[in-house]
């Protein structure tokens, strides 16, 4: 079975395991107050061109989302999100379990626009019974989104502008950030992301680490007391250095970007070849998640050899599915997949 069903199918970049082995019997302080975390934070701030940022390391994505959002909001405030946002769909109500409502907006492609946000907030305050509804105070976007689309620099800048005008915090979920930043269509840099948002995170779990997400806070208001929030949400790893060592390894020697570029390139190859075969896509995704629409009988055939995720039924005989590439994907497997799809389609055409 060759797995394309997610971007967390393998372990981690081998350099990380080596570093873990080298440092294994060192004794360090716990809870992220060790030298490795300090050095990793420095590298990340440099990569973000954000020397005044606060950097914290957490274990996983759901935990990070909940920690960041609940740290920013008062009890009666909520977070604006695309209806497809991970926090709204795939976190078993973790945010609501902390007391906060997802204020959802329907989108075509998983991306919010500055206009939608402005209109939501204006609508809230124009309603004479506004105090009977949850006050919007933060905007949550993911880049790439849950369906692989990415924000262009101008779009993110516009959203950032609206957020400042309306007094909202802007939070970018970067679980797959590297795969967005390194794809062909991207025009954003890590420094842009740091400048245009109030807080965001650089995903490790899906991009080369065993686990771990690096939260980067640039808005002064959100920095205070953040570690209390981490602890309350179970994100303060006792052996915090494990996170420091991983991000140190990823951000030394440009590794984070190189392995992201590898995944991006393979996804583009898949996308280009399938497009050439005349296959259409459920979403026009430029990043490491590809959503081709394929005949069900082709999918049945592919299932014997490949793992992939079911996305949606398109018509009576076609479904959209998801193939992910990642830092660990072997090019030969992508080639094999392309060739097998080509064969299945061809057979079917006979």
Which residue number, 238 or 349, has a Cβ lying nearer to a copy of itself? 238
Instruction: Give yes or no for a contact between 287 and 150, defined as CB atoms under 8 angstroms apart.
Output: yes
Nearer to a copy of itself (CB atom), residue 100 or residue 318: 100
| Closest distance to a copy of itself from the beta carbon of 159 (Å) | 23
Nearest to 44 by CA among 166, 190, 181, 232: 190
d(CA 184, CA 235): 34
Compare residues 88 and 287 and give the one whose CB is closer to a copy of itself: 88
CA distances to 31, 224, 229, 303, 311 from 308, in Å? 37, 42, 36, 8, 9
Q: Which residues have CB under 8 Å from 30's CB, separation 6+?
A: 238, 239, 240
**From the CB of 71, what's the least distance to a copy of itself, in Å?**
7
Q: In residues, how long is the chain?
A: 350
Q: Closest approach of Cβ 251 to a copy of itself, in Å?
A: 20
Q: Measured on CA atoms in the order 143, 149, 154, 155, is the torsion positive or negative?
A: negative
What's the gap between Cα 315 and its chain centre? 29
* Tokens describing residue 327: 């830092």
Smallest distance, a copy of itself to C-beta of residue 315, A: 18
- What string of DSSP letters covers 76-107? TEEEEEETT-HHHHSSTTHHHHTT--EEEE--
User: By CB neighbour count within 10 A (0-12 exposed, 13-18 middle, 19+ buried), where does 224 fall?
Assistant: exposed
Could you give the dihedral angle defined by the CA atoms of residues 257, 209, 177 and 108, in that order, rounded to the nearest 10 degrees? 140
Based on CB atoms, which residue is closest to a copy of itself, 304 or 349? Answer: 304
Structure tokens that stand for 271 in this block = 């996308």
Instruction: Give whichever of 174 and 286 is closer to a copy of itself, judged by the CB atom.
Output: 174
Please state the closest distance from residue 163 (CB atom) to a copy of itself, in A.
18
Between the two ends of the chain, the Cα-to-Cα distance in Å is 27
C-alpha 214/C-alpha 184 separation (Å) is 24
Q: Quick one: 279 or 322, whose CB is closer to a copy of itself?
A: 322
Least gap, CB of 14 to a copy of itself (angstroms)? 7
For residues 68 and 156, which CB has a smaller minimum distance to a copy of itself in the complex?
Answer: 68
Of 160 and 212, the one with the shorter C-beta distance to a copy of itself is 212
47 versus 263: smaller Cβ distance to a copy of itself: 263
Q: How far is the CB of 47 from a copy of itself (least distance, A)?
A: 23
Shortest spacing between CB 12 and a copy of itself, in angstroms: 7
Q: Can you tell me the distance from the alpha carbon of 199 to that of 201, in angstroms, rounded to the nearest whole number?
A: 7
With a CB cutoff of 8 Å and minimum separation 6, the contacts of 53 are: 44, 45, 194, 216, 217, 218
- Tell the smallest beta-carbon distance from residue 318 to a copy of itself (Å): 19
């Amino acid at each position: 079975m060759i797995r394309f069903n997610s971007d967390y199918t393998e372990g981690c970049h081998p350099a990380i395991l080596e570093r873990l082995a080298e440092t294994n019997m060192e004794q360090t302080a716990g809870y992220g107050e060790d030298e490795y975390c300090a050095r990793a934070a420095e590298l990340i701030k440099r990569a973000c061109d954000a020397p005044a940022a606060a950097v914290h390391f957490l274990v996983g994505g759901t935990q990070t989302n909940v920690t960041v959002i609940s740290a920013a909001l008062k009890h009666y405030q909520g977070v604006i999100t695309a209806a497809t946002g991970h926090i709204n769909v795939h976190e078993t109500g973790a945010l609501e379990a902390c007391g906060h409502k997802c204020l959802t907006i329907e989108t075509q492609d998983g991306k919010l626009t500055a206009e939608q946000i402005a209109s939501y907030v204006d609508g809230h305050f124009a309603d004479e019974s506004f105090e009977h509804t949850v006050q919007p105070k933060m905007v949550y976007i993911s880049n790439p989104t849950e369906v692989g689309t990415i924000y262009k620099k101008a779009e993110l800048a516009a959203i950032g502008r609206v957020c400042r005008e309306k007094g909202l915090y802007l939070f970018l979920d970067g679980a797959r950030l590297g795969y967005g930043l390194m794809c062909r269509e991207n025009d954003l840099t890590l420094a842009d992301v740091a400048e245009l948002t109030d807080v965001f995170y650089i995903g490790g779990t899906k991009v080369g680490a065993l686990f771990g997400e690096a939260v980067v806070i640039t808005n002064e208001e959100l920095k205070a007391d953040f570690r209390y929030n981490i602890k309350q949400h179970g994100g303060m790893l006792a052996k915090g250095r494990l996170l420091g060592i991983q991000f140190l390894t990823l951000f030394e020697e440009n590794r984070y970007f190189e392995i992201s570029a590898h995944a991006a390139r393979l996804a583009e190859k898949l996308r280009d070849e399938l497009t050439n075969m005349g296959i259409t896509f459920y979403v026009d995704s430029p990043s490491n998640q590809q959503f081709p629409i394929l005949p069900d009988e082709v999918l049945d055939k592919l299932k014997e050899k490949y793992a992939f995720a079911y996305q949606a039924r398109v018509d009576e005989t076609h479904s959209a599915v998801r193939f992910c590439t990642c830092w660990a994907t072997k090019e030969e497997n992508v080639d094999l997949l392309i060739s097998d799809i080509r064969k299945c389609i061809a057979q079917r055409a006979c």
